[in-house]
Amino acid sequence: MAAPEPRPAGPKIIRTVAQVRAITTAWAQNGDTIGVVPTMGALHEGHLSLVRLAKARTDRVIVTLFVNPKQFNRQADLASYPRTEDRDAQKLAALGVPILFCPSASEMYPEGFSTNVSVAGVSEGLCGAGRPGHFDGVATVVTKLLLSTMADFAFFGEKDFQQLMVVRRLVDDLNMATRIVGCPTVREPDGLALSSRNVKLTPDQRAVAPAMAEALRHAAAKIAKGANVPDSIDAARQAIVEAGYDNVEYLELRAEDNLQKLSAFTRPARLLAAAWLGDVRLIDNVPINDEPAQNAGQK
């Protein structure tokens, strides 16, 4: 009988900024490009797709795993957020990731920490309305992670489209050298966007969950063909609730480049939504790919 395949060695787990700096400084001195994939762990194929892209695009990849308390506005959500560090490390081992940066909250925010990074404009409305302080928390931690790793490229999912826009704005505004790479949303075969929160769904909720993606796709197709935007949005909200969601927090058409609110499809756009199944909040978004119709919003 053949001997079992040896398990690939896991990534080296680094817990301090000083250690991560020492490693990335050596890499940079060696002329290697560095890619960082920031995550909050509970890794799934969506995260792993970012890692694969980072590996294809850069010489050295660091994945970060930090459940950032500053971006949770509900204590219960922070407390119940899935934490699976060992399993995450195994998944990264299979991809040959050399470094997993897992700082503690006190390493990232030591006593006396007083800085808040706040991005106006793109952080307003959508998730910014329902989760006060969330994007300040994101902007602050991303600034720290990019500066700590000195990454040439950072990989973020379009699944969190508003977050991607906040990070792009932040890096531009602060003249940070890291280039931001947006990566497409990975979905289950039934259309549900992969999310670490999906494990919290009961079987009944899981069966209902794909309805949001389906309603967004359907509305986007109608809008692309020139259907009235407010009517299409109303119909999509109704479809999501009728399918069994408890509440639609928002469902809006926004400009692709700056998230400006749109009431007609006059420029490249995205439909974005957040909705609740019990106490699980899911978000999703879809691009509207076709060129705006001449008579957009008139039907």
Residue 121 CB, shortest distance to ligand AMP, in Å, is: 20
Tell me how many residues contact ligand AMP (CB under 6 A).
Answer: 17
- 186 Cβ contact list (under 8 Å, min separation 6): 44, 45, 46, 49, 157, 159, 193, 194
Binding flag, residue 152, ligand AMP (CB under 6 A)? no
Which of 185, 205, 228, 232 is close enough to bind ligand AMP by CB under 6 A?
185
Determine, following the binding rule CB under 6 A, whether residue 178 of this chain makes contact with ligand AMP.
no
Show contacts with ligand AMP in window 20-79 (CB under 6 A): 39-40, 46-47, 49-50
Q: Which amino acid is present at 88?
A: D
CA proximity to 234, closest of 251, 214, 218: 251
Tell me, yes or no, if 47 is annotated catalytic.
yes
Cβ contacts of 70 within 8 Å, gap of 6 or more: 109, 133, 136, 137, 140, 141
**Segment near ligand AMP (CB under 6 A); pick from 22-30, 178-186, 200-208, 249-257:** 178-186
**Shortest separation between residue 91's beta carbon and ligand AMP, angstroms:** 13
Near ligand AMP by CB under 6 A: residue from 183, 227, 229, 274 = 183
- Lookup: tokens for 3: 């001997």
297 touches ligand AMP by CB under 6 A: no
Measure the CA–CA gap between 35 and 178, rounded to whole angstroms: 9
11 touches ligand AMP (CB under 6 A): no
**Does residue 140 belong to the site contacting ligand AMP (CB under 6 A)?**
no
User: What's the rounded Cα separation, in Å, for the pair 177 and 15?
Assistant: 24
Kindly indicate which of the ranges 80-88, 185-193, 248-256, 266-274 contains the residues binding ligand AMP, using the contact rule CB under 6 A.
185-193
Q: In whole angstroms, how far apart are CA 184 and each of 123, 157, 188?
A: 20, 6, 13
The nearest distance, CB 77 to ligand AMP, in angstroms, is: 12
**CA proximity to 237, closest of 264, 216, 220:** 216
Chosen residue from 153, 156, 245, 265 binding ligand AMP by CB under 6 A: 156
Nearest distance from C-beta of residue 113 to ligand AMP, angstroms: 21
Strand order in the sheet with 280-288: 247-255, 269-277, 280-288
The DSSP string of 187-225 is B-TTSPBP-GGGGGS-HHHHHHTHHHHHHHHHHHHHHHT
Q: Which amino acids are annotated catalytic?
A: 47
Residues of this chain that bind ligand AMP (CB under 6 A): 39-40, 46-47, 49-50, 156-157, 159-160, 183, 185-186, 193-196
